[in-house]
Amino acid sequence: MTAITDLVIVGGGPAGCAAAVMAASVGVRSVLIEPDALCAKLQHIAAINNVVGGRASGPELAAAIAEDVARAELCEVDLGARVTEVRAYDDHVTVTMDTGRTISGSYAVVATGVGPVPVSVAPWLTVAAGTDPPTLWGAKVPGEVVGSLLVVGADRPLGTFLRAHPALGATVLVAYPPEDDYKVDEVRGDARVTLLPVARLSVSEDGGSALTVEWVDREDQPGSWTVDTVYMNLGSAPVPPPGALIRDTSGYCPPDRQHPRVITAGDLRSARFQRIMAATGSGSQAALRAYYGLRGVQSAKHGGSPY
Ligand SMILES: Cc1cc2nc3c(=O)[nH]c(=O)nc-3n(C[C@H](O)[C@H](O)[C@H](O)COP(=O)(O)OP(=O)(O)OC[C@H]3O[C@@H](n4cnc5c(N)ncnc54)[C@H](O)[C@@H]3O)c2cc1C
Protein backbone atom coordinates (compact mmCIF):
# COMPACT_ATOMS: atom_id res chain seq x y z
CA MET A 1 0.00 0.00 0.00
CA THR A 2 1.28 3.47 -0.82
CA ALA A 3 0.46 6.41 1.44
CA ILE A 4 1.38 10.04 0.92
CA THR A 5 2.59 12.27 3.71
CA ASP A 6 4.76 15.35 4.15
CA LEU A 7 7.51 13.72 6.17
CA VAL A 8 8.54 10.11 6.71
CA ILE A 9 10.54 9.67 9.92
CA VAL A 10 12.71 6.56 10.11
CA GLY A 11 13.61 5.61 13.70
CA GLY A 12 11.73 6.41 16.92
CA GLY A 13 14.59 7.33 19.25
CA PRO A 14 14.95 10.81 20.75
CA ALA A 15 15.88 12.30 17.35
CA GLY A 16 12.96 10.79 15.42
CA CYS A 17 10.46 11.59 18.18
CA ALA A 18 11.67 15.21 18.39
CA ALA A 19 11.27 15.48 14.60
CA ALA A 20 7.67 14.20 14.87
CA VAL A 21 6.75 16.64 17.66
CA MET A 22 8.38 19.62 15.94
CA ALA A 23 6.80 18.72 12.56
CA ALA A 24 3.32 18.57 14.11
CA SER A 25 3.86 21.91 15.85
CA VAL A 26 4.34 23.64 12.47
CA GLY A 27 1.51 21.79 10.69
CA VAL A 28 3.64 19.16 8.92
CA ARG A 29 2.08 15.67 8.69
CA SER A 30 4.41 12.77 9.37
CA VAL A 31 4.62 8.99 9.65
CA LEU A 32 7.16 7.73 12.19
CA ILE A 33 8.42 4.15 11.72
CA GLU A 34 10.04 2.23 14.59
CA PRO A 35 10.55 -1.54 14.91
CA ASP A 36 10.83 -1.50 18.71
CA ALA A 37 9.25 0.76 21.35
CA LEU A 38 9.75 4.54 21.18
CA CYS A 39 13.09 5.54 22.77
CA ALA A 40 13.86 1.91 23.66
CA LYS A 41 17.56 2.68 24.16
CA LEU A 42 16.75 5.08 26.99
CA GLN A 43 15.40 2.14 29.03
CA HIS A 44 19.05 1.16 29.66
CA ILE A 45 20.12 4.52 31.11
CA ALA A 46 19.68 4.38 34.88
CA ALA A 47 20.75 7.95 35.61
CA ILE A 48 20.90 11.03 33.38
CA ASN A 49 22.74 14.25 34.31
CA ASN A 50 22.91 16.10 30.99
CA VAL A 51 19.31 16.59 29.89
CA VAL A 52 17.39 19.74 30.76
CA GLY A 53 13.77 19.46 31.84
CA GLY A 54 14.03 17.52 35.08
CA ARG A 55 14.04 13.89 33.88
CA ALA A 56 16.69 12.06 35.87
CA SER A 57 16.43 8.57 34.39
CA GLY A 58 16.18 7.07 30.90
CA PRO A 59 12.85 5.25 31.46
CA GLU A 60 11.27 8.45 32.85
CA LEU A 61 12.46 10.45 29.85
CA ALA A 62 11.32 7.75 27.38
CA ALA A 63 7.83 7.78 28.90
CA ALA A 64 7.64 11.59 28.72
CA ILE A 65 8.78 11.63 25.07
CA ALA A 66 6.26 8.89 24.13
CA GLU A 67 3.49 11.01 25.69
CA ASP A 68 4.62 14.03 23.66
CA VAL A 69 4.52 11.97 20.44
CA ALA A 70 1.06 10.61 21.30
CA ARG A 71 -0.18 14.21 21.66
CA ALA A 72 1.20 15.14 18.21
CA GLU A 73 -1.99 14.47 16.24
CA LEU A 74 -0.39 15.06 12.83
CA CYS A 75 2.02 12.17 13.43
CA GLU A 76 1.05 8.58 12.62
CA VAL A 77 3.26 6.12 14.52
CA ASP A 78 3.92 2.78 12.81
CA LEU A 79 5.45 0.55 15.51
CA GLY A 80 6.78 -2.94 14.81
CA ALA A 81 8.01 -2.17 11.29
CA ARG A 82 11.64 -1.90 10.13
CA VAL A 83 12.59 0.20 7.14
CA THR A 84 14.32 -1.87 4.48
CA GLU A 85 14.87 0.82 1.84
CA VAL A 86 14.86 4.61 1.45
CA ARG A 87 14.76 6.05 -2.09
CA ALA A 88 15.08 9.71 -3.01
CA TYR A 89 13.87 11.43 -6.17
CA ASP A 90 13.67 15.03 -7.39
CA ASP A 91 10.20 15.62 -5.95
CA HIS A 92 9.62 12.88 -3.32
CA VAL A 93 11.04 10.03 -1.27
CA THR A 94 9.81 6.46 -0.84
CA VAL A 95 10.32 4.40 2.29
CA THR A 96 9.71 0.64 2.25
CA MET A 97 9.20 -1.51 5.34
CA ASP A 98 9.62 -5.19 6.13
CA THR A 99 5.81 -5.38 6.53
CA GLY A 100 5.49 -4.73 2.79
CA ARG A 101 4.16 -1.20 3.29
CA THR A 102 5.67 1.58 1.18
CA ILE A 103 5.15 5.23 2.05
CA SER A 104 5.91 8.15 -0.16
CA GLY A 105 6.57 11.56 1.32
CA SER A 106 8.00 14.93 0.40
CA TYR A 107 10.98 14.50 2.76
CA ALA A 108 12.50 11.79 4.96
CA VAL A 109 14.19 12.29 8.32
CA VAL A 110 16.44 9.30 8.92
CA ALA A 111 17.39 8.81 12.59
CA THR A 112 18.26 5.15 12.97
CA GLY A 113 21.15 5.74 15.37
CA VAL A 114 23.97 3.29 16.06
CA GLY A 115 24.12 -0.42 16.88
CA PRO A 116 26.76 -2.63 18.46
CA VAL A 117 29.91 -3.37 16.45
CA PRO A 118 29.32 -6.98 15.33
CA VAL A 119 31.74 -9.88 15.88
CA SER A 120 32.07 -10.19 12.10
CA VAL A 121 34.07 -6.94 11.81
CA ALA A 122 36.66 -7.95 14.46
CA PRO A 123 39.16 -10.25 12.66
CA TRP A 124 40.91 -11.08 15.96
CA LEU A 125 37.72 -12.51 17.48
CA THR A 126 35.86 -15.82 16.98
CA VAL A 127 32.60 -16.64 18.73
CA ALA A 128 31.39 -20.17 18.02
CA ALA A 129 27.75 -19.89 19.01
CA GLY A 130 26.78 -18.34 15.66
CA THR A 131 24.93 -15.27 16.90
CA ASP A 132 26.58 -12.24 18.51
CA PRO A 133 26.49 -12.27 22.34
CA PRO A 134 24.43 -9.51 24.03
CA THR A 135 25.87 -6.07 24.61
CA LEU A 136 27.21 -5.05 28.03
CA TRP A 137 25.12 -1.87 28.06
CA GLY A 138 21.96 -3.97 27.69
CA ALA A 139 22.95 -6.38 30.50
CA LYS A 140 20.56 -6.92 33.40
CA VAL A 141 21.98 -7.55 36.87
CA PRO A 142 21.79 -9.68 38.95
CA GLY A 143 19.66 -12.13 36.97
CA GLU A 144 22.01 -12.63 34.02
CA VAL A 145 25.39 -12.14 35.65
CA VAL A 146 26.73 -14.95 37.86
CA GLY A 147 30.18 -16.46 38.62
CA SER A 148 32.58 -15.06 36.07
CA LEU A 149 31.94 -13.12 32.94
CA LEU A 150 33.89 -12.12 29.88
CA VAL A 151 33.60 -8.61 28.48
CA VAL A 152 34.93 -8.34 24.93
CA GLY A 153 36.26 -4.82 24.37
CA ALA A 154 36.87 -1.97 26.82
CA ASP A 155 34.48 0.66 25.51
CA ARG A 156 33.05 3.30 27.87
CA PRO A 157 29.97 1.34 29.08
CA LEU A 158 32.40 -0.89 31.05
CA GLY A 159 33.18 1.81 33.64
CA THR A 160 29.50 2.80 33.80
CA PHE A 161 28.50 -0.85 34.27
CA LEU A 162 30.97 -1.41 37.13
CA ARG A 163 29.97 1.80 38.92
CA ALA A 164 26.30 0.98 38.51
CA HIS A 165 26.78 -2.45 40.12
CA PRO A 166 29.01 -2.01 43.18
CA ALA A 167 27.63 -5.23 44.73
CA LEU A 168 28.38 -7.37 41.67
CA GLY A 169 30.45 -10.32 42.92
CA ALA A 170 31.40 -11.79 39.55
CA THR A 171 34.97 -11.96 38.26
CA VAL A 172 35.11 -9.75 35.19
CA LEU A 173 37.63 -10.76 32.53
CA VAL A 174 38.07 -7.87 30.07
CA ALA A 175 39.70 -8.94 26.79
CA TYR A 176 40.49 -5.99 24.54
CA PRO A 177 42.26 -5.18 21.28
CA PRO A 178 45.09 -2.59 20.94
CA GLU A 179 42.66 0.15 19.82
CA ASP A 180 40.99 -0.02 23.27
CA ASP A 181 44.28 0.32 25.24
CA TYR A 182 43.62 3.96 26.13
CA LYS A 183 40.18 3.14 27.56
CA VAL A 184 41.15 0.70 30.34
CA ASP A 185 42.59 3.20 32.86
CA GLU A 186 39.09 3.94 34.11
CA VAL A 187 38.62 0.33 35.36
CA ARG A 188 42.21 -0.68 36.13
CA GLY A 189 41.80 -0.19 39.91
CA ASP A 190 38.61 -2.28 40.20
CA ALA A 191 39.44 -5.48 42.13
CA ARG A 192 36.80 -7.46 40.24
CA VAL A 193 38.48 -6.81 36.89
CA THR A 194 41.23 -8.84 35.20
CA LEU A 195 42.59 -7.00 32.17
CA LEU A 196 43.64 -9.08 29.22
CA PRO A 197 45.27 -7.29 26.26
CA VAL A 198 44.81 -9.83 23.48
CA ALA A 199 46.02 -10.39 19.95
CA ARG A 200 43.44 -13.13 19.29
CA LEU A 201 40.45 -14.47 21.22
CA SER A 202 37.97 -17.27 20.72
CA VAL A 203 34.88 -18.27 22.69
CA SER A 204 33.37 -21.75 22.38
CA GLU A 205 30.76 -23.81 24.19
CA ASP A 206 32.23 -26.46 26.52
CA GLY A 207 29.28 -28.86 26.26
CA GLY A 208 27.72 -27.67 29.53
CA SER A 209 26.38 -24.26 30.45
CA ALA A 210 29.85 -22.67 30.67
CA LEU A 211 31.92 -21.18 27.85
CA THR A 212 35.61 -21.72 27.12
CA VAL A 213 37.67 -18.63 26.36
CA GLU A 214 41.04 -19.11 24.64
CA TRP A 215 43.41 -16.33 23.73
CA VAL A 216 46.85 -15.38 22.51
CA ASP A 217 48.13 -12.27 24.29
CA ARG A 218 50.26 -9.44 22.85
CA GLU A 219 53.47 -11.36 23.80
CA ASP A 220 52.20 -14.35 21.81
CA GLN A 221 51.44 -16.33 25.00
CA PRO A 222 48.35 -18.57 24.91
CA GLY A 223 45.86 -18.82 27.79
CA SER A 224 42.36 -20.06 28.58
CA TRP A 225 39.59 -19.60 31.11
CA THR A 226 36.01 -20.73 31.68
CA VAL A 227 33.25 -18.15 32.00
CA ASP A 228 29.49 -18.23 32.54
CA THR A 229 28.50 -15.26 30.39
CA VAL A 230 29.91 -13.19 27.54
CA TYR A 231 29.06 -9.56 26.79
CA MET A 232 30.14 -7.54 23.78
CA ASN A 233 31.61 -4.10 24.44
CA LEU A 234 33.41 -3.15 21.23
CA GLY A 235 31.60 0.15 20.77
CA SER A 236 29.00 1.11 18.25
CA ALA A 237 28.62 1.68 14.53
CA PRO A 238 26.02 3.60 12.48
CA VAL A 239 23.07 1.61 11.13
CA PRO A 240 21.54 3.50 8.18
CA PRO A 241 18.78 1.69 6.29
CA PRO A 242 19.72 0.53 2.77
CA GLY A 243 19.15 2.82 -0.19
CA ALA A 244 19.77 6.53 -0.57
CA LEU A 245 21.87 7.22 2.54
CA ILE A 246 25.40 8.45 1.83
CA ARG A 247 28.13 7.48 4.29
CA ASP A 248 31.41 9.25 4.96
CA THR A 249 34.67 7.33 5.40
CA SER A 250 33.79 6.47 9.00
CA GLY A 251 30.42 5.00 7.97
CA TYR A 252 28.35 7.86 9.44
CA CYS A 253 25.79 9.84 7.41
CA PRO A 254 26.37 13.61 7.80
CA PRO A 255 23.34 15.76 6.87
CA ASP A 256 25.30 17.92 4.42
CA ARG A 257 26.24 14.88 2.28
CA GLN A 258 22.68 13.65 1.69
CA HIS A 259 20.10 14.05 -1.09
CA PRO A 260 18.17 17.33 -0.48
CA ARG A 261 15.05 15.36 0.47
CA VAL A 262 16.83 13.07 2.96
CA ILE A 263 17.77 14.67 6.28
CA THR A 264 19.78 12.70 8.81
CA ALA A 265 19.48 13.35 12.56
CA GLY A 266 20.77 12.05 15.89
CA ASP A 267 23.58 9.55 16.46
CA LEU A 268 23.55 8.51 12.79
CA ARG A 269 25.19 11.82 11.81
CA SER A 270 28.52 11.47 13.55
CA ALA A 271 30.42 9.73 16.34
CA ARG A 272 31.04 13.08 18.04
CA PHE A 273 27.61 14.24 19.16
CA GLN A 274 26.03 11.10 20.55
CA ARG A 275 23.95 12.57 23.34
CA ILE A 276 20.21 12.77 23.93
CA MET A 277 20.03 16.57 23.76
CA ALA A 278 22.09 16.66 20.57
CA ALA A 279 19.76 14.04 19.07
CA THR A 280 16.56 15.89 19.97
CA GLY A 281 18.04 19.19 18.76
CA SER A 282 19.02 17.73 15.41
CA GLY A 283 15.66 15.95 15.03
CA SER A 284 13.82 19.24 15.63
CA GLN A 285 16.11 21.02 13.18
CA ALA A 286 15.52 18.31 10.54
CA ALA A 287 11.74 18.73 10.82
CA LEU A 288 12.08 22.51 10.43
CA ARG A 289 14.25 22.02 7.37
CA ALA A 290 11.46 19.89 5.82
CA TYR A 291 8.91 22.54 6.84
CA TYR A 292 10.81 25.33 5.07
CA GLY A 293 11.29 23.09 2.02
CA LEU A 294 7.56 22.28 1.89
CA ARG A 295 6.73 26.00 2.05
CA GLY A 296 9.24 26.78 -0.70
CA VAL A 297 11.32 29.01 1.54
CA GLN A 298 14.90 29.40 0.33
CA SER A 299 17.45 28.99 3.11
CA ALA A 300 19.67 31.82 1.77
CA LYS A 301 16.96 34.37 2.59
CA HIS A 302 16.64 33.06 6.14
CA GLY A 303 20.18 32.91 7.37
CA GLY A 304 21.50 30.06 5.25
CA SER A 305 21.66 26.34 5.93
CA PRO A 306 22.01 25.17 9.54
CA TYR A 307 24.36 22.44 8.29
C1 LIG B 1 24.23 2.61 27.78
C2 LIG B 1 24.02 3.99 27.23
C3 LIG B 1 24.02 5.07 28.08
C4 LIG B 1 23.84 6.36 27.58
N5 LIG B 1 23.80 7.40 28.46
C6 LIG B 1 23.56 8.66 28.00
C7 LIG B 1 23.45 9.76 28.91
O8 LIG B 1 23.55 9.60 30.13
N9 LIG B 1 23.23 10.99 28.37
C10 LIG B 1 23.11 11.21 27.02
O11 LIG B 1 22.90 12.34 26.61
N12 LIG B 1 23.21 10.18 26.15
C13 LIG B 1 23.42 8.92 26.60
N14 LIG B 1 23.51 7.86 25.71
C15 LIG B 1 23.41 8.16 24.26
C16 LIG B 1 21.95 8.34 23.84
O17 LIG B 1 21.20 7.21 24.21
C18 LIG B 1 21.90 8.54 22.33
O19 LIG B 1 22.71 9.66 21.97
C20 LIG B 1 20.48 8.78 21.83
O21 LIG B 1 19.62 7.70 22.16
C22 LIG B 1 20.49 8.96 20.31
O23 LIG B 1 19.19 9.11 19.83
P24 LIG B 1 18.85 8.72 18.31
O25 LIG B 1 17.40 8.99 18.16
O26 LIG B 1 19.81 9.34 17.40
O27 LIG B 1 19.15 7.15 18.22
P28 LIG B 1 18.53 5.91 19.01
O29 LIG B 1 18.12 6.28 20.38
O30 LIG B 1 19.54 4.83 18.85
O31 LIG B 1 17.23 5.57 18.19
C32 LIG B 1 17.30 5.05 16.88
C33 LIG B 1 16.03 4.26 16.63
O34 LIG B 1 16.00 3.87 15.27
C35 LIG B 1 15.44 2.58 15.19
N36 LIG B 1 15.89 1.94 13.95
C37 LIG B 1 17.11 1.41 13.65
N38 LIG B 1 17.13 0.90 12.42
C39 LIG B 1 15.88 1.11 11.90
C40 LIG B 1 15.28 0.81 10.65
N41 LIG B 1 15.94 0.17 9.66
N42 LIG B 1 13.97 1.17 10.46
C43 LIG B 1 13.28 1.82 11.43
N44 LIG B 1 13.83 2.13 12.64
C45 LIG B 1 15.10 1.78 12.86
C46 LIG B 1 15.96 1.87 16.44
O47 LIG B 1 15.11 0.79 16.78
C48 LIG B 1 15.97 2.99 17.46
O49 LIG B 1 14.80 3.01 18.26
C50 LIG B 1 23.68 6.57 26.18
C51 LIG B 1 23.68 5.46 25.32
C52 LIG B 1 23.86 4.19 25.83
C53 LIG B 1 23.86 3.01 24.88
Q: Going from the first residue of the chain to its last (307 residues), give the mean pLDDT of each consecutive group of 10, the final group possibly shorter.
A: 86 98 98 98 89 90 98 98 97 96 97 92 84 82 69 90 82 94 92 95 83 94 92 93 96 96 98 95 98 84 55
253 lines ligand 1 (CB under 6 A): no
Res 2: pLDDT: 63
Instruction: For ligand 1, say whether the CB of 212 is within 6 Å of any of its atoms.
Output: no
- Please identify, by atom number, the ligand 1 atom nearest to the C-alpha of residue 282: 26
Collect contacts of 190-194 with beta carbons under 8 A, ≥24 apart: 190/162, 192/162, 192/168, 193/162
Query: If you measure from the C-alpha of residue 13 to the centroid of ligand 1, how many angstroms do you get, rounded to a whole number?
Result: 6
- Predicted pLDDT at 1: 55
At residue 46, the pLDDT reads 81
**Run of H or E including 231:** strand 229-232
CB 195 within 8 A of CB 188: yes
The phi, psi pair for 27, rounded to 5°, reads 80, 20
pLDDT of residue 266: 98
Q: How many CB atoms lie within 10 A of CB 51?
A: 17
Q: How far is CA 229 from CA 91, 132, 147, 167, 222, in A?
A: 51, 12, 8, 18, 21
- The per-residue pLDDT for 15 is 98
User: Which residue among 21, 32, 45, 272 has the greatest number of ligand 1 atoms within 8 angstroms of its CB, and so is best to mutate?
Assistant: 45
Predicted confidence at residue 129, as pLDDT, reads 67
Contact 155, 134 (CB under 8 A): no
Global pTM exceeds 0.85: yes
Write the residue with the smallest CA distance to atom 4 of ligand 1.
45
C-alpha of residue 69 to centroid of ligand 1, in Å: 16
Question: In this predicted structure, what is the pLDDT of residue 161?
Answer: 85
pLDDT value, residue 258: 97
pLDDT at 82: 98
Q: Is 112 in the pocket of ligand 1 (CB under 6 A)?
A: yes
Identify the DSSP state of 14: H
In the 8-state DSSP scheme, what is residue 243?
Answer: B
pLDDT computed for residue 285 by the predictor: 97
